[in-house]
Amino acid sequence: MVDDISYTAEEVAKILRISRFTVYELIKRGELIAYKAGRKMRIDGADLANYKKKTKGEAPFVQNTTMPSTGSVFDIQTGLIICGQDVVLDILTRQLERQMRTIRVLRQYAGSLDGLICLYNRTVNLATVHLWDADTNEYNIPYVRRYLPGMRATIINLVYRMEGFYVAPGNPKQINSWADLCRNDVRFVNRERGCGVRVLIDENLRKLNIDSRHIVGYDKEEMSHLAVASCVARGAADVGVGTEKAAMQVQNVEFIPLQKERYDMVILKQDLDRPHFQALIAILRSKAFQQEVSGMGGYDISRMGDVMAEI
């Protein structure tokens, strides 16, 4: 029975005859439903069948199971859906699963704005955000107020990260400012709408009165920091924007720092006293977890676990 089968990303890649990186991109875009089981992403057979039939234009297969998906109602009283893309969340999920084996932890790979909308709609119960507001030079708080109207929330810091340009080694085209993106000899690669990097890009362009129509490649979008860095590394673009951490993981990419950003978790106040949220916060504030994240490089953990605001 298809109901009883689940696959790893690698197995799905073989079935669909695509790379496992493409599988992860499908998951991030919400086109393929997956969940976290230990250190592995798993895809149910019924969800894979739905994806295949959807791409063929057929009616979806209806799964007869109580297993929740990130696109349906989830028991937020007893489970936890973490919305966000950073690898630190993988480590956090693993630690939480070790400590609370009866708690089901799922991941939804969505950008910051989409995460807040999901939190508002209660399809997730923890969103991560790195949204810069150019008018106030403030991270996250203006957006939480805007996208969670009438809801009380607590903003807790996860890490600080450096955002910057990805360029070829030696920066041969001397790309150092946002204005350089308008040059005819510069090919840009963008991020998808709704993610924190895209907001950073568009806010800077608005602040500097730069017309995006003058940027070659502005409409070319990738779904992750690594995908943007890879475009630059293989010469498909001259410049993109992303985190320093991703630049450390891709060869033939040089990083030009632009702005230090605050990457926070947003939790509704009504959830804070629940055991799994208390366990999560305790992990964030533990020396062992902070040392593990710090050891990865590319992250500033100086405020990890601190309450940044209560809305």
Q: Which of 261, 286, 301 is the last residue of a domain?
A: 261
pLDDT band at 19 (very low <50, low <70, confident <90, very high): low
| 12 domain-assigned | yes
CA atoms within 13 A on the CB side of 185: 4
pTM: 0.76
* d(C-alpha 187, C-alpha 104), whole Å: 43
Q: Is the pLDDT score of 268 beyond 50? A: yes
pLDDT band at 181 (very low <50, low <70, confident <90, very high): very high
pLDDT at 62: 37
User: pLDDT, tens digit, for every residue of 37-55?
Assistant: 766 778 888 888 877 776 6
pLDDT band at 15 (very low <50, low <70, confident <90, very high): confident
Q: Which of 267, 293, 241 is nearest to 80 (CA)?
A: 267
State the average pLDDT over residues 93-120: 87
Residue type, 22: T
| 101 domain-assigned | no
The better pLDDT of the pair 126, 29 is held by: 126
| 11 domain-assigned | yes
User: pLDDT, tens digit, for every residue of 112-159?
Assistant: 999 999 999 988 889 999 999 999 999 999 999 999 999 999 999 999
Q: Which of 67, 83, 107 is the last residue of a domain?
A: 67
Share of the chain above pLDDT 90, in %: 62
User: pLDDT, tens digit, for every residue of 214-227?
Assistant: 999 999 999 899 99
Q: Is the pLDDT score of 286 beyond 60? A: yes
Round the average pLDDT of the chain to a whole number and report it: 87
| 247 domain-assigned | yes
pLDDT at 6: 81
Which CATH number fits the domain that encloses residue 218?
A: 3.40.190.10
State the average pLDDT over residues 201-222: 96
Q: Which of 39, 67, 95 is the last residue of a domain?
A: 67
Q: Is the pLDDT score of 63 beyond 70? A: no
| 230 domain-assigned | yes
**Number of independent structural domains in the chain:** 2
pLDDT at 57: 47
State the average pLDDT over residues 255-284: 95
* d(C-alpha 151, C-alpha 122), whole Å: 11
| 178 domain-assigned | yes
pLDDT band at 186 (very low <50, low <70, confident <90, very high): very high
Q: Is the pLDDT score of 204 beyond 50? A: yes
| 296 domain-assigned | no
Q: Which domain holds residue 21?
A: 1-67
Which CATH number fits the domain that encloses residue 56?
A: 1.10.10
DSSP 44-61: EHHHHHHHHHHHTTPPPP
The better pLDDT of the pair 67, 218 is held by: 218
| 171 domain-assigned | yes
